[in-house]
Chain A
């Protein structure tokens, strides 16, 4: 839907975004990760037109510009208005009027699960409810692309699960979603792709499936403490890590695994199970950022 090429933005002499290139497609949820100050919010603001870029292009992939909905990181609302009044104003701003506006407002209120709070003043709503209003206003007007800065911030675990379900549903409807988050399990649960930003650059980009591919490690779980053969196990290979009741091999090599199993069984330890763990997003993130 959107193609971003070599996007660059400076604040005075400081380069905040450096040659960012991305493509956002229909039915894709791209999670943008990165430490604080990496440039995520600036990237979103350039993308949504609040800040002009110094260089690079943002263009629609196919002819017509998609409609973009935006939820900023920090939410500010006219606090005396009720959520329904606020959303009705946003519906009117999006060109809806009369019955169409009313039914659209009711639809998003139900979708984001804020029916009980819809007629409360916004200032009396909880932080989680305000997040839902933020998402609801971004969805009014049926945007093709949603840019969500920290959508799960301030939500309780149930609220987070509901938010993830909404995002998955929007993806199934063919929306393209760009979101930033520091919650890696949230990103793993909803995103199809990730991009990691550091110092204004995208330093890693991959699909979630590829990022979570088998780590190449083998983990063997036993029923008893392995302290008695720790040194013997470690002498087999420098890549072996012995924990209380498990052994982690840094490779999947069969001969080494056989040697370890033989040693465990001969020492009287029962083997419960053998795993090939996936790389966690935490590991990918930490590795990329440390580099």
Chain B
């Protein structure tokens, strides 16, 4: 398997739980799960924002991997 394909798989697998965290937190924040206190909302917003940062970081994995292994076949078999 090429390193780019491995990175793509890893990115996909990391994204999946982060998408679930983002989605469920957004549903709590938009009231889909009922009313929550302002304090709880404040804490959940911080969790949501941290998850967004994680998503951004994971999104950069393919380009970082490409920069480290520019079309190199020597690193393509993992």
| A and B form one complex | no
